Structure 1
Amino acid sequence: MVIWLVGMSGVGKTTIADILFKKISKETNSNAIPIDGDIVRLIDGNNKKETSYSLEARYQNAKRIQEISLALDQSGEDVICSILCIFPDILKENKKIFSNYYEVFLEASLAELERRDIKGLYESARKGEISDFVGYDIEFPIPKAPNIHLKTDQNKTAKELTTIIYDEIYHDLNLANKNTDLKSRLSEARNAIDYAAIVSKLIKPLGG
């Protein structure tokens, strides 16, 4: 199964993915594997700080996340994707290729996203100081038919929002997956590089 958390930068995708990963690991026998753009770049051997955010680069990154998620899904792993996906064709294809698929659209107002942004990227984009920024010079297409639509700028905490997702996806988790060694290694990964190395070994036998 693939849980695809989609939304703009700062909406809470990574936070909710991390809470969901820990909740699944604690409460079930399933191994949920979080995947995001940074992890994919490390898997592919690209740990450069300077990364292109052009439309073409974003599309290639989204396709690579999709490919890795599919490889893990086909091996019986549950996957939690965090992605700023601006390509409706990828969302449409997801519904066809994964064994089970939950699209979770996380939404917040632009004002709230800018308020949360400690790096000041939204303000810089608004002032025209940076380009290729989703929400300003790159449009964020609203997902048409997500399985779950949550607003992260209202009164619920990230934990409460995660519980809503967990309750919805629980019955489709691969509860037969009792690879406790993998679960332990994922939990003990010291950093993103360690984590990417673990995931890379999982997908290589599948040609990922």
Structure 2
Amino acid sequence: MTKLNLCVDIDGTITTPYYWLKDGNQYFNTNLKPEDVCEYEIHKVLNVSREEYLRFYDLLGEEIHAKAKLRSRARRILCKLAEYHNIHYVTAREKKMTEVTHWWIDKKKLPVDGIHILGSHYKVDKAKELRCDIFIEDRYENALEISKAGYKVLLIDCNYNRLPIPKEIVRVKDWDDIYNEIILYSDRKLKLDVA
């Protein structure tokens, strides 16, 4: 098996995608359900201004991230993948979320070769720096941008990213799908390296 550099987003990718919803509903006095989250930008989902959302995030962001739940089988699959591949978490979270992010990854006992907190959705330069083979992402726009830069992207299915995708991006429904795609990719790469 060829050793790969895997870049993995955090929110909505290894976490459940709607873990912020309960706190958002409570804070903004709404009653949204996961099926109502058909847009990535949370302030638009909540129907509040970006400034109102940012006040909410400043106040409760660390607490919300600290209690985020893992997607089903994410830890198990990441641990299996880490036996053969490098795992780099690449997140758009703000720099002020560095401590809670490291704490959460440690608490969840996730394998890690690097944690990269960018404070921006632009992830192409980090993918290049890490010599990324596969990028696992949930944000539609990120997936397009990363793919356009020449990287293989696995887009994990969420209510908010179900727009048409180019053939270079693979839509996956869960972490078992992610594992299977990575094994296929690794086997193909090994055959090309041997040839």
For CA contacts below 8 A with separation 6 or more, give which structure has more relative contact order. 1
TM-score, L = length of structure 1: 0.33
TM-score, normalization by structure 2: 0.34
